[in-house]
Amino acid sequence: MVCVGVSDPLMGERLAACVVPRDEAAPTLEELCAHLDRPGLERRKHPERLLVLSELPLTPAGKPDQAVLRERCTPEAERQQQPLASAD
């Protein structure tokens, strides 16, 4: 899991978690926050968004590319990733 700050006009930044699940089942944001409650992490430090990826984008040095992750966690990027509702 990698957490990044995503620009927010009201708060300045909001925290987003980017995870690569080890198995087929990806955690929900609620499950992730419940897991973070166990060690006593304050709720104000919990992520407000969750991005599930098949792999983390890496820099040439092999570290998670936080700039790319930040870009993928923006509301605009999330809207583009959501499937369109079917017109029945």
- Residue 48 in any domain: the answer is yes
Which CATH number fits the domain that encloses residue 38? 3.30.300.30
- Residue 87 in any domain: the answer is no
Q: pLDDT tens digit string along 35-84? A: 888 887 888 889 999 999 999 999 999 999 999 999 998 877 766 664 43
* Residue 32 backbone phi and psi in degrees, to 5: -65, -45
Rounded to an integer, what distance in angstroms lies between the CA atom of residue 83 and that of residue 55?
21
Model pTM score: 0.76
Range of the structural domain that residue 66 is part of: 2-81
- Residue 88 in any domain: the answer is no
- Residue 86 in any domain: the answer is no
Q: pLDDT tens digit string along 15-38? A: 999 999 988 788 899 999 998 888
